[in-house]
Structure 1
Amino acid sequence: MKCVICKHGETKEGTTTVTFDRDGMTLVVKDVPAQICTNCGEDYVDEHVAHEILAIAERMAKSGAQVDVRRYVPGSAMPC
């Protein structure tokens, strides 16, 4: 797909790190599958993966944790 940010690069499959900050809580998820722009490096995470990361963040918030760093494992998050 054509990058919507730089409008010059094409994306290719790769992995990225997603950082989620909310209300004093920080979640870092590494090795997240994404489409990465070959020109500017912008990353695009598909809707299903984003939903899983949000479910992880929701569970983290309910647990009272302030910081969590983990590796992405497909299907490991239950839907919120």
Structure 2
Amino acid sequence: MRCDVCGNGEIRPGRKPKVVQRDGRVAVVTDIPVEECPSCGMTWLDGPVARRLDDLFREMLAVDAVAVRPYSEAVAAA
């Protein structure tokens, strides 16, 4: 499928990290499944992945000053 943003790249599956900072706390989730355009770099999250990430970041930021977790490990624990 061609990218709707740039019209140049073919959207493909990939894995990316995401960092969230809130109130002096930092949470990093690695290896998140995304759809991405190699041409413009735009990424998209599937609905269930986005909801799980929201929950995961909320949990991580409530407990730790700095936390790093791989997405696959977080999904397995859910």
TM-score in same-fold range (> 0.5): yes
Task: Tell me the residue number matched to 2:44.
Answer: 44
Superposition deviation, residue 75 in structure 1: 2.7
Give the AA of the match of 1:72: Y
In structure 1, the gaps of 5 or more residues are none
In structure 2, the gaps of 5 or more residues are none
1:37-74 superposed Cα distances (whole Å, 9 cap, x missing partner) = 021222211121111111111112322x1111111126
Q: Does 1:69 align with 2:55?
A: no
Equivalent residues, number: 77
TM-score, length of structure 2 as denominator length = 0.78
Whether the 8 Å CA contact 1:18–1:28 is kept in 2: the answer is: yes
Query: Between the two proteins, what is the percent identity of the paired residues?
Result: 32
CA distance in 2, matches of 1:26, 1:3: 31
CA distance in 1, matches of 2:6, 2:75: 32
CA distance in 1, matches of 2:54, 2:38: 26
TM-score, length of structure 1 as denominator length = 0.76
1:1-49 superposed Cα distances (whole Å, 9 cap, x missing partner) = 4434433222101111111222222111111100010212222111211
CA distance in 1, matches of 2:46, 2:31: 14
* Alpha-carbon RMSD: 2.0
Give the AA of the match of 1:23: D
Runs (4+) of structure 1 exceeding 2 A deviation are 1-8, 74-78
Which structure shows the higher helix fraction? 2
